[in-house]
Structure 1
Amino acid sequence: MGLRYGTEAEVLQGLDFRLERGGFYFLTGPSGAGKTSLLKLLYLAQRPTRGRIRLFGEELADAPREALPAFRRRIGVVFQDFRLVRHLSAFDNIALPLRLAGEDDRTIEGPVREMLAWVGLADRASARPPTLSGGEQQRVAIARAVIAQPELLVADEPTGNVDAAMANRLISLFEALNRLGTTVVVATHDLSLIASVSGARMMRLEGGLLSDPTGELRHPPTRGYRA
């Protein structure tokens, strides 16, 4: 599989890997290696310009555009630039995936309050994104991504704006979600973060190429997602 933007050279080339369903993966590599582009393929914001991608048992490289939102609702995404809805409170930003899934407001209140407390923002529930610090916005974005217990969680530098203690707390949240069966892919430069998760696998991108020294990405032990 490959990806290029316009007529430029491919930013990703020769990708051929499978993620184990329920696995925990860290994606590393130097700046400009294509990590964000690879994540965009995984959360269906970008289609490969050649090859195929298979998620949730479906071939999606050529799927009709109108079919993609249903698949995206099964994916939680933590963006580098947060992408919070500016006119909504922290509470309502976190509640958004549940409301889009059709859940009643009476059933949303408890889980959202619990998530706000977990990320240390219980007292900021009514605050809107422009009044939050970068670290607070990042925690709201992470809470929004995990609140609906997605089948696949994709996070782009999710701990870049928080201190070490909060970074470890957020990674513990990812691990808890992973234990419930969510496949987790985290792009990061933080090697200490990678070392903190027992059993996590590491993928490395450099020059648009994905390394697979152990062969685990091509031949994982169980069924998974193919790209």
Structure 2
Amino acid sequence: MTADGEIIHFDNVGLRYGTDREVLSDLSFTLFPGRFYFLTGASGAGKTSLLRLLYLAQRPSRGMIRMFGTDAITMPRSRLPGLRRRIGVVFQDFRLIPHLSAFDNVALPLRVAGHQEKDLAGPVRDILDWVGLADRIDARPPTLSGGEQQRVAIARAVIARPAMLVADEPTGNVDPEMALKLMRLFEMLNRQGTTVVVATHDLDLLRKVPESLIMRLDRGRLSDPTGALRYPPRKMQ
């Protein structure tokens, strides 16, 4: 994070796959710590591609991306894992490890970060209980429903309290009651300082987080209905 508070900065970023036309064009924006952003747009607008840039799974075709005060384009590849560990990701296709239990899938980020085994049980059990899976702690992903797998994926993404959480349609496989509960979890993390970016086509979600800011993608370009691209950082309590 830089001295003026920015956490992510895009400057004239474009992305194309191969020789096709750009799927993202002329993206310039700043994300600030402690803010909650919704990324909306029709199917095919480029939401998933933009999220891939945000969690460093994809490099842009042009432009500059600065993350946590570091030029993410020119930095040595050896430093990328450390930067990625500051970002929690909820994937649309979950990406759980099928031979590991729900407990071990959720514990994975803590183990990678070097936490001792004796310190894992409490936090992992607490977060699985919060997402309604206390009774499925030993279950492996193939035995879980789609909604249960989604909740395990969300628990794994937030267990290490990342500086930024990026979520691609995180409520797409859960019922409305659980969707609201998950949004409250994201809000709680946000109030504690995590920058949250949720991509969704569910416009009802936008009304459930009153202080959220909206970035709207239309054919690869961003519009700014709530001032998200220029909003000053909120003072943390």
Q: For this structure pair, what is the TM-score category when the shorter chain's length is used for normalisation?
A: over 0.9
Q: What amino acid is the match of 2:232?
A: P
Q: What amino acid is the match of 2:189?
A: L
**TM-score scaled by length of structure 1:** 0.96
- Hey, what's the Cα distance between the residues in 1 that align with 2:83 and 2:17? 23
Q: Secondary structure at the match of 1:69?
A: helix
Match of residue 63 from structure 1: 75
Match of residue 167 from structure 2: 155
- Hey, what's the Cα distance between the residues in 2 that align with 1:120 and 1:215? 35
**Hey, which of these two has a bigger chunk of strand by percent?**
2
Q: Secondary structure at the match of 1:53?
A: strand
Deviation at 1:91, TM superposition (A): 0.2
Match of residue 199 from structure 1: 211
Match of residue 172 from structure 1: 184
> Per-residue displacement from partner, 1:19-72 (whole Å, max 9, x unpaired)?
121100000000000000000000000011100101111110122222111000
Runs (4 or more) in structure 1 with deviation over 4 Å come to none
Match of residue 117 from structure 2: 105
Matched, 1:122 2:137: no
- Hey, what's the Cα distance between the residues in 2 that align with 1:30 and 1:215? 20
- Hey, what's the Cα distance between the residues in 2 that align with 1:196 and 1:222? 21
- Hey, what's the Cα distance between the residues in 1 that align with 2:227 and 2:109? 35
Superposed, which structure 2 residues align to 1:43-62 within 5 Å? 43-62=55-74
Q: Secondary structure at the match of 1:52?
A: strand
Match of residue 222 from structure 1: 233
- Hey, what's the Cα distance between the residues in 2 that align with 1:62 and 1:129? 37
> Per-residue displacement from partner, 1:164-210 (whole Å, max 9, x unpaired)?
00000000000000011000000011111110002100110010001
Deviation at 1:220, TM superposition (A): 2.4
- Hey, what's the Cα distance between the residues in 2 that align with 1:172 and 1:220? 22
Matched, 1:17 2:23: no
Q: What amino acid is the match of 2:124?
A: V
Match of residue 186 from structure 1: 198
- Hey, what's the Cα distance between the residues in 2 that align with 1:213 and 1:197? 15
Unaligned runs of 5+ in 1: none
Judged with a 3 Å threshold, the aligned counterparts in structure 2 of structure 1 residues 18 and 127 are, in CA distance, closer, same or farther, namely same
Provide the identity percentage: 69
Check conservation: 2:161, 2:189, Cα contact below 8 A.
yes
Deviation at 1:214, TM superposition (A): 4.8
- Hey, what's the Cα distance between the residues in 2 that align with 1:214 and 1:14? 19
Match of residue 7 from structure 1: 19
Q: 1:92 aligns with which of 90, 104, 112?
A: 104
Q: 2:223 aligns with which of 201, 211, 223?
A: 211
Q: What amino acid is the match of 1:148?
A: A
Between the two proteins, the alignment pairs up a number of residues equal to: 222
- Hey, what's the Cα distance between the residues in 2 that align with 1:166 and 1:214? 27
> Per-residue displacement from partner, 1:80-116 (whole Å, max 9, x unpaired)?
0000011100000000000000001111100000011
Match of residue 149 from structure 2: 137
What value does the CA root-mean-square deviation take over the aligned residues?
1.1
Judged with a 3 Å threshold, the aligned counterparts in structure 2 of structure 1 residues 197 and 106 are, in CA distance, closer, same or farther, namely same
**TM-score scaled by length of structure 2:** 0.92
> Per-residue displacement from partner, 1:121-170 (whole Å, max 9, x unpaired)?
00101110111110000000000000000000000000000000000000
Q: What amino acid is the match of 2:41?
A: G
- Hey, what's the Cα distance between the residues in 1 that align with 2:170 and 2:152? 11
